[in-house]
Amino acid sequence: MFLSRRVFSEAISNFRQILRTTGLEFEKGIEDYRIFRETNDTPDWGVVRMSSYAMCKNRPQEARKFLEEQFKEVGGSQRQARHVQITEAQINANLERVLKSNIETGIRFYEFLLDFRFCANRDVYLETIIEYIFKNDKNNWKYAIEVLNRLQEKQKSKSFKMSAYHILKSSVDSEKDLAELVKPRTLRNLRIFLRLETSSFPEVLDYCRSFGKFESSDVDFHIEIAGKLRSFEALENLLELYGGQMIIPMPKGYEKRIVEEFIKISGKSGNLEKLERSIQLTRTIEMEDRDVLYAKIRHFYKCLNVKPPVKLYE
């Protein structure tokens, strides 16, 4: 058992060296890769990386072949994307490598990954593609929608609200086209979130009143996107909407959830100013929940090796 582990470790070490070589000397790397595959199993994450290098070198046929060979050897028609040996972060890192060289080439690479079941069509990858489209041309929302449509036709994504958010934020003119892609409730919540993120509270309040009551799913939607974008402004506006007076009717218990998200993104980003602000926000919460939130704030101050400005207990 010890020997097999050692052999496996050596094989992975050798394979990592092949990947480094490929990044510097593409032709030599491919030759070493072919020799390695004759006597060793190749991990999915390594095959995807080799394929990304080939795409960057404008060698799509070789890139596709790398993935197809692995597909046939590991699972074939029974292969399922959720069982592959590669993480979301690794997929995105390789996708970004190709997108940086050329947007359309990056999209084609992603289509190869879908074709050979190295990943499913998910918002976490679609968002990366949409962001790169706007990095290249911030006004190119029509192309972004074309790409979303194209990838949806290839494989349906259960959700792509973050991708839709970036498109809607780029231009309000995109709303009509987005309405054909996303559910009416999702589009409504995206419009509300953009106000939460960018407008003053009176403007937010005036806009939200026309929509009436917030359901649990609506508040969850706004908290989730605010967390992903680390939007303190959106969370504060949402909290004020909730308010002690329930200005906009919302489900009970969400005041704590909103403040909890504010604390989390403050602490994880190391933003001491916002972490101190979270202490003030916590004081509006009921005593029982406040103790739990204070414990979370203390945790982040400890992680940041900073003494809290006030005592965090009742």
pLDDT at residue 6, as a whole number: 62
User: What are the counts of helices (DSSP H) followed by strands (DSSP E) for the chain?
Assistant: 17, 0
**Count of CB atoms within 10 A of residue 288's CB?**
9
Report pLDDT digits (tens) over 256-300: 999 999 999 999 999 999 999 999 999 888 888 898 999 999 999
Nearest CA to 239 among 204, 207, 273, 289? 204
Q: Give the angle subtended at the CA of 166 by the CAs of 165 and 171, to the nearest 5°.
A: 100
Cβ 304 vs Cβ 267: under 8 Å: yes
Question: What is the pLDDT, as a whole number, of residue 314?
Answer: 58
**Which pLDDT belongs to residue 213?**
79
Give Cα separations from 209 to 64, 194, 236, 246, 260 (angstroms): 52, 15, 17, 12, 25
Predicted pLDDT at 265? 97
CA-to-CA distance for 71 and 118, rounded, in angstroms? 8
Angle at 219 (CA atoms; ends 167, 225), nearest 5 degrees: 35
R_g (Cα) of the chain, nearest Å:
24
Query: Cα separations (Å) of 27 from 18, 34, 88, 94, 224?
Result: 11, 11, 28, 19, 45
Question: CA–CA separation, 110 vs 76, rounded Å?
Answer: 19
Residue 171: exposed, middle, or buried by beta-carbon count in 10 A (0-12, 13-18, 19+)? Answer: middle
Q: Which residues contact 48 (CB under 8 A, 6 or more apart)?
A: 67, 86, 90, 91, 94, 113, 118
**Structure confidence at residue 14 (pLDDT):** 84
> What residues in the chain have per-residue pLDDT under 70?
1-8, 77, 81-82, 243-247, 313-314
